[in-house]
Amino acid sequence: MLQRYAAGERDFSGVDLSRANLADCILVGTNLSGANLTRANLKSSKTLDIRLFQYQTFNEIRGIRENRR
């Protein structure tokens, strides 16, 4: 994953990162929605603008709910 990140990839949605050692990493603008982070080591990692869920912002979630009405 880190090699792919270094090459410019930012979409890791659905990727199996279980037991991945991401300690001390700096991750910016990364999509981890649906990724398996079971037992992943994120100790001292720095993250900014990380997507962990399908919808990134409250406004996106609210917009989906309003469209369903």
pLDDT tens by residue, 19-44 = 999 999 999 999 999 899 999 998 99
**Residue 26, CA distances (Å) to 20, 23, 58, 59 in order:** 14, 9, 24, 26
Residue count (the chain): 69
What are the pLDDT digits (tens) for 39-68? 999 899 998 888 887 655 555 655 655 555
Tracing tokens 């037992």 back to the chain, one arrives at 39
